[in-house]
């Protein structure tokens, strides 16, 4: 649930809309709906499984994506250390 804790912070920014949630395991994404409810935001669409991310990326109403994964964080940190973006 690393991602849930991070993106939950976006619910405190006025005007923010969280339109979609994606996790390999659908149940984890569904559990995150409670944070939207607490912030009086509407439910988000849920994507899951092997192709969930690909389906999510087809949407044209997403301006920002938050991708949390230990491997990606490690990889990004390595790229920053060698001056890559």
Q: Mean pLDDT over residues 43-49, rounded?
A: 93
The pLDDT score that the predictor gives to residue 38 is: 92
The pLDDT score that the predictor gives to residue 83 is: 46
With vertex at residue 72, the alpha carbon angle to CA 65 and CA 31, rounded to the nearest 5 degrees, is: 55
pLDDT at 59 over 70: yes
72 CA to centre of own chain: 14
pLDDT band at 50 (very low <50, low <70, confident <90, very high): confident
Distance in angstroms (rounded) separating the CA atoms of residues 14 and 80: 31
């Amino acid at each position: 649930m690393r991602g849930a804790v991070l993106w939950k912070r976006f619910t405190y920014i006025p005007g923010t809309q969280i339109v979609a949630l994606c996790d390999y395991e659908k149940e984890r994404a569904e559990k995150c709906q409670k944070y939207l409810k607490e912030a009086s935001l509407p439910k988000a669409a849920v994507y899951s499984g092997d192709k969930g991310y690909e389906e999510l990326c087809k949407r044209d109403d997403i301006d920002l994506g938050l991708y949390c994964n230990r491997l990606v964080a490690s990889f990004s940190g390595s790229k920053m250390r060698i001056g890559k973006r």
